[in-house]
Amino acid sequence: MPGVPHKGWTCTSVDDLGAPNQLCEMCETQDIRYVHHMEHPDYPEGLGVGCVCAENMENDYEGPRRRERALRNAAQRKQRWLSRKWKVSTQGNAYLNTDGLNITVFQRTPTLWGARIEDRATGRSVSSKRPHKTEDAAKLAAFDAMIFLKEERGWGA
């Protein structure tokens, strides 16, 4: 892309679009599924690029692939999340102990569900604020929260 510096970029986040349906904004030739959001101090607009362009822009040939691998692994894990063997607590709530966390899904009202995640090592916990219409919806929301807490807050093992 003319006028765009090719080095000195940093990645601020990566999104999984679920399918390769966005054109890389750097090379403008590759349809991409995983969008690396890149920023540069001398360029006013960020770019959404694919892995190879992110590698070249960052001059880092490990980081972009590691980020994509983490997203792919999380997507695969989420697909299996509902089919996992959830245990039932003495209060009758579904729960899992995984990754150093205790994840509990419970019925708030006859038609709404919630979830709670506890870091087993520290005892810190957080409960869902948003009610969910089904138990499965609460489980999937708990999965997303678990990934966030592990990656952004350092919770769990």
Which pLDDT tens digit goes with each residue over 140-150? Answer: 999 999 999 99
| 135-153 and 63-81 helices, crossing angle to 10° | 150
Q: Model-level pTM greater than 0.85?
A: no
Residue 107: its pLDDT value, please?
Answer: 97
Residue 7: its pLDDT value, please?
Answer: 78
pLDDT at 152 exceeding the cut of 90: no
Q: Rounded distance, CA 34 to CA 40, Å? A: 19
Residue 142: its pLDDT value, please?
Answer: 97
Which pLDDT tens digit goes with each residue over 64-120? Answer: 999 999 889 988 999 999 999 999 999 999 999 999 999 999 999 999 999 999 999
Burial of 96 (0-12, 13-18, 19+ CB in 10 A): buried
Which pLDDT tens digit goes with each residue over 13-59? Answer: 999 998 999 999 999 999 999 999 999 998 889 999 999 999 999 99
